[in-house]
Structure 1
Amino acid sequence: MYEMYKLAKVTSEMRLFNLHVIRVSKSRWTGSGRLKTNTGVTILCSWRDDNLHHEGVAIILKKSVERSLLEWKPVNKRLICARLKGKHVNMNIIQCYTPTNNSREKDQNNFYSQLQKKMGITPCHNQIIVMEDLNAKVGNDNTDFERVMGKHGMEIRNDNGERLVEFCAMNNLMIGGPSSYIKTPTS
């Protein structure tokens, strides 16, 4: 997404497929902020503070969804949070980009510590959706994690996959697809 024409391509695809919210990992922009395109799409960004054009995350909202935006917060180059007004419950979106399996354990621990901190301050009566590029393979062995991952994991679980299923279990999240983890509100 470093080149601006790529943003135009993404927002064009967003309109074509009638998508309301898109997550972006590795946006490669610098700084952080809120942008509005001339087509009315809103981009919430959390980027690096240097000029290296690596990493970065963003949430792109369709014009009709942007009106529901209650608040948002760029956390760092790997995390951004947004809260949307819902009809029955509010929705908290956490977009993240996890360090790869080859990253230092210190960096991985720091990332999950920050992610857990965001989970801890999210109201339990809100729906929580963690959208990600978690660089994880959860594998097909769901022993002790049936509720978290169901029966449809693939391949063999890697270290990030292990961290992910444990994080989901600890936070009562369910793996809802290849890139989202959902917690429904408690009564």
Structure 2
Amino acid sequence: MRTLDKFRIDIAGLSETRLTGFGTLNSETYHILYSGLETRKEAGVGMALSSRAKKCLVDWEPIDERILCARFATSQAKLTVIVVYAPTNDTMIRPRMIFIAGCQMLLLKRIGTIL
């Protein structure tokens, strides 16, 4: 988190968080949204938000352990940020297809709100 703070990054996507379930965590300088598997500490995605970004957060949706979506409203625009952790090409076909379908469903749902 020090690196994010040093470079004054307001929103950062995180992968391989290895946290179970979904929820939020707070550090001294960042608010973390995360989504992971229910029982195993594998994969997982997250989003680190500065206090400034957290004030603009409208809502967020933990899709699964590989996809997380958050919506923000600023004085300039509405913004949707999607964090993904794609399976590698050597992963079996079924998990890759599930991942692609999840991305497609989210994009269709958010059409018009994605910048």
Normalised by the length of structure 2, the TM-score is 0.93
Quote the Cα distance in structure 2 between the aligned partners of 1:22 and 1:16: 13
Alignment partner of 1:120 is 2:108:
yes
CA deviation after TM superposition for structure 1 residue 125, in Å: 4.7
More strand by share: 2
CA-CA distance at 1:87 after TM superposition: 2.3
Q: CA deviation at 1:17?
A: 1.2
1:46 counterpart residue number: 35
- From 85, 103, 106, the equivalent of 1:97 is 85
1:59 and 1:95 in contact (8 A); partners too:
yes
- 1:131 alignment counterpart: none
Is the contact between residue 44 and residue 65 of structure 2 (CA under 8 Å) also seen in structure 1? Answer: yes
**Structure 2 residue 24 is the aligned partner of structure 1 residue 24:** no
Q: Which amino acid aligns with 2:58?
A: L
CA contact (8 A) 1:23 1:60 kept: yes
Instruction: Report how many aligned residue pairs link the two structures.
Output: 115
Identity %: 23
Q: Which SS does the other structure have where 2:80 is aligned?
A: strand
Partner of 2:61: 73
Alignment RMSD (CA, Å): 1.2
TM (normalized to structure 1)? 0.59
Residues 53 and 126 of structure 1: CA distance in aligned 2, closer, same or farther (over 3 Å): closer
Residue 6 of structure 1: aligned partner: none
Answer 1 or 2: higher relative contact order, Cα 8 Å, separation at least 6: 2
C-alpha displacement at 1:88, in angstroms? 3.2
- The code of the aligned residue for 1:23 comes to G
**Contact 1:31/1:49 (CA < 8 Å) preserved in 2?**
yes
Distance of 1:55 and 1:85 partners within structure 2: 29
Q: Which runs of 5+ in 1 are unaligned?
A: 1-10, 128-187
Distance of 1:29 and 1:60 partners within structure 2: 14
Please list every run of at least 4 consecutive aligned residues from structure 1 whose deviation after the TM superposition is greater than 2 angstroms: 86-89
Which is higher, the Rg of structure 1 or of structure 2? 1
**Contact residue 89 and residue 126 of structure 1 kept, 8 A:** no
